[in-house]
């Protein structure tokens, strides 16, 4: 990127990735990296459970920081997706098969435990493959790294020897955070038992920085001298994190709010080792429908696969982009809103050129700076869901019949995003909208207003029934019948006609569903209400 295309740091676009990019740029400047040296950004993954949506969010958000950093500075970056697959399995996840088999391997590195799914050489290999598969599916540019491979290959050997040189200083940092029993035996080094394969949390009887070994005694009283190099040992995780930052020269890594104290401790250890801790963002946690933190071991919340069943990948990007430092519910009811926010941002981007407004638009990040013509849709996801609801649509063909009436030129070929939304709307409607539909009866004023609306619609000239005209007509009816505030009239339309508490811009809905069809919908609701009243009187 030429100097003239770089941004002025004094006037950053108003988007959090650019704020993070500025922090990264300052960090790189302090380190005095050569101009052609890429900044190294890292994300971490613990493969004790299946990859979940939070893992995706961390990679997506870090990728957006990369994008902003390059736009800001013109410098290149690398993204390392690091799997902590040498960690010991401490408990059996709730959402994997063959739990009894896994239970026999508790305490061993994840990369040395059989795959409960029976598809890969180890549990870690299975989950690593799942991670790579969905990151690849989203088109992320990254390098995958395995903790086991880095330890065994010697990539960490020099840093591990350095850990032994400053062993007591590291213990002095961590010990005050531990209880008395754990403090008495703590060491940053976890040797792997040469016979059982267990990752041992034991007191170190001796440290030999010159030989690069530790001496320790197992629970049977047998003493061992183990090299810390070559994969014969690993680090306790806070020391491990710091050692990795030091060994690899990591410049940026974000982490969740629950790791604030760990980041501070790892930063201190990194400095003891002689390194500079990376810059980073502390993001808030995702919550499930009950307000509990989502967990890869519990499998609560939404999986990536589930989200993609109900909405396009771009909508998931939109959800992840919004306010990363604010806790958010992550359940199925957030999907339609995220989809329509994304569509609105794509439409907005069409008018923003290449200025700061565009660089603040989530769509610019979601599309890696290139928003092509296939992005966007003439109809919102919410509108399609409402159309599916009133039409009881079970196949996309039903929705396309109405869409063609609204826009003859619209087709899956000319509107690929709309086609994707149609397919998703059918599935989302069947699983979430149809089971929760509840119609209420209108009161006397509402019945009169609905009858008036039906009568006015019957008298419309088909050629003048554009969405704006129809919307103005709906407003006029609401005012004529004294609805105050006017939103109570629209609430009546949604609850009586659609069986839900919220709904679309009603003029567009009528134009899409059809004037005659809307009249029939109103008449059916009034007939239903009359039948209900008659049954009450008869009773």
Supply the CATH number for residue 267's domain: 3.40.50.620
* Predicted local distance difference test score (pLDDT) of residue 396: 96
Q: Are residues 148 and 100 in the same domain?
A: yes
Domain finish residue from 436, 462, 482? 436
What domain range is 507 assigned to? 438-537
Closest CA to 82 of 324, 279, 298, 248: 248
Q: List, run by run, the mean pLDDT of 10-residue segments along the chain (539 residues).
A: 60 92 96 94 88 85 97 96 95 88 96 96 93 86 97 97 98 96 94 97 96 97 97 96 98 96 97 98 88 65 87 96 93 95 96 87 96 92 93 94 88 96 97 90 96 94 80 95 95 92 87 92 89 48
| CA separation, residue 327 to residues 98, 290, 293, 357 (Å) | 34, 13, 10, 26
Please check whether residue 10 lies inside any domain of the structure: no
Binding-site residues for ATP sit at: 296
- In terms of domains, do 298 and 328 share one? yes
Residues 393 and 532 placed together within one structural domain of the fold: no
- pTM score, two decimals? 0.88
For residues 395 and 257, state if they share a domain.
Answer: no
Do residues 324 and 202 both lie within one domain? no
Q: Packing angle between helix 157-165 and helix 260-273, nearest 10 degrees?
A: 90
Q: Which of 420, 436, 452 finishes a domain?
A: 436
The answer to whether residues 531 and 413 belong to one domain is no
User: Is 148 within a domain?
Assistant: yes
Are residues 425 and 467 part of one domain? no
Instruction: Judge whether 395 and 49 are in contact, CB under 8 Å.
Output: no
Annotated binding site: 296
Question: Dihedral of the CA atoms 153, 157, 158, 164 (nearest 10)?
Answer: 170
Tell me 8's DSSP state: P
How far is the C-alpha of 272 from the C-alpha of 266, rounded, in Å? 10
329 and 204 together in one domain: no
User: Which residue, among 50, 148, 47, 132, has the nearest Cα to 97 in the 3D structure?
Assistant: 50
At residue 536, the pLDDT reads 41
Which CATH number belongs to the domain containing residue 483 in this structure?
1.10.10.350
Q: Within 10 Å of residue 19's Cβ, how many Cβ atoms?
A: 15
C-alpha atoms less than 13 angstroms from C-alpha of 504 in its C-beta half-sphere: 27
pLDDT of residue 4: 45
DSSP secondary structure letters along 282-307: EEPPEE-TTSPBP-TTTT-S--HHHH
> Looking at 419, 436, 453, which one is the last position of a domain?
436
Domain for residue 20, yes or no?
Answer: yes
Beta strands 233-235 and 189-191, pairing class: antiparallel
Query: Based on the domain organization, do 50 and 34 belong to the same domain?
Result: yes
Sign for the CA dihedral angle at 399, 400, 401, 404 comes to positive
Distance of CA 78 to the CA centre of its chain: 21
Beta bridge partners of 191: 233
Same domain, 353 and 280: no
Q: Tell me which residue has tokens 């505030």.
A: 485
Give the span between the Cα atoms of 388 and 94, in whole angstroms: 36
Confirm whether 1 is domain-assigned: no
Residue 258: name the closest of 225, 236, 285 by CA: 285
* Residue 372 belongs to some domain of the structure: no
DSSP code of 88?
A: B
Tell me if 11 is assigned to some domain: no
320 and 353 assigned to the same domain: yes
Assigned domain for 368 exists: no
Tokens (6 digits) for 504: 């679309």
Q: Are residues 478 and 521 in the same domain?
A: yes
3-state secondary structure 431-465: HHHHHHCCCCCCCHHHHHHHHHHHHHHHCCCHHHC
Count how many domains the chain has. Answer: 5
């Amino acid at each position: 990127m030429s100097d003239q295309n770089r941004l002025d740091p004094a006037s950053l676009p108003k988007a959090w990735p650019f704020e993070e990019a500025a922090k990264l740029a300052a960090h790189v400047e302090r380190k005095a990296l050569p101009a052609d040296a890429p900044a190294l950004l890292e994300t971490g993954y613990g493969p004790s459970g299946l990859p979940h949506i939070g893992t995706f969010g961390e990679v997506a958000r870090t990728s957006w920081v990369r994008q902003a950093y390059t736009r800001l500075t013109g410098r290149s970056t690398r993204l390392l997706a690091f799997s902590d697959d040498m960690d010991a399995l401490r408990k059996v996840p709730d959402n994997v098969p063959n739990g009894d088999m896994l239970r026999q391997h508790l305490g061993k590195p994840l990369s040395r435990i059989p795959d409960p799914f029976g598809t890969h050489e180890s549990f870690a290999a299975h989950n690593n493959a799942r991670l790579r598969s969905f990151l690849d599916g989203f088109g992320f540019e990254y390098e995958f790294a395995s903790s086991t491979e880095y330890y065994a290959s010697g990539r960490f050997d020099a840093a591990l020897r350095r850990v032994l040189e400053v062993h007591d200083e590291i213990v002095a940092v961590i010990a005050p955070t531990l209880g008395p029993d754990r403090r008495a035996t703590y060491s940053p080094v976890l040797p792997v038992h040469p016979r059982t394969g267990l990752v041992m949390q034991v007191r170190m009887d001796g440290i030999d920085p010159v030989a690069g070994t530790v001496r320790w005694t197992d629970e049977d009283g047998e003493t061992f001298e183990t090299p810390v190099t070559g994969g014969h040992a690993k680090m306790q995780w806070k020391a491990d994190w710091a050692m990795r930052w030091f060994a690899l020269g990591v410049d940026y890594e974000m982490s969740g709010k629950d790791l604030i104290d760990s980041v501070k401790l790892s930063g201190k250890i990194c400095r003891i080792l002689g390194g500079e801790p990376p810059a980073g963002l502390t993001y808030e946690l995702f919550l499930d429908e009950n307000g509990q933190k989502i967990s890869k071991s519990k499998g609560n919340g939404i999986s990536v696969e589930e989200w993609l069943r109900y909405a396009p990948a771009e909508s998931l990007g939109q959800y992840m982009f919004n306010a990363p430092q604010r806790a958010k519910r992550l359940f199925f009811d957030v999907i339609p809103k995220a989809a329509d926010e994304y569509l609105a941002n794509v439409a907005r981007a069409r008018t923003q050129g290449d200025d700061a407004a565009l660089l603040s638009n989530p769509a610019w990040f979601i599309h890696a700076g290139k928003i092509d013509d296939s992005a966007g849709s003439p109809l919102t996801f919410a509108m399609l869901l409402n159309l599916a609801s009133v039409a009881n649509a079970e196949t996309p063909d039903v929705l396309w019949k109405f869409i063609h009436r609204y826009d003859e030129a619209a087709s899956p070929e000319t509107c690929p995003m709309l086609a994707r939304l149609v397919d998703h709307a059918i599935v989302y409607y069947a699983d979430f909208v149809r089971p929760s539909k509840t119609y209420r009866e209108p009161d006397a004023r509402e019945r009169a207003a609905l009858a008036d609306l039906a009568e006015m619609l019957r008298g419309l000239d088909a050629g003048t029934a554009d969405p704006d005209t129809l919307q103005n007509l709906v407003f006029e009816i609401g005012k004529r019948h004294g609805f105050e505030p006017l939103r109570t009239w629209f609430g009546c339309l949604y609850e009586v006609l659609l069986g839900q508490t919220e709904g679309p811009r009603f003029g567009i809905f009528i134009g899409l569903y059809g004037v005659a069809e809307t009249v029939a919908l109103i008449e059916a609701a009034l007939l239903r209400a009359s039948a209900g009243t008659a049954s009450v009187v008869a009773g």
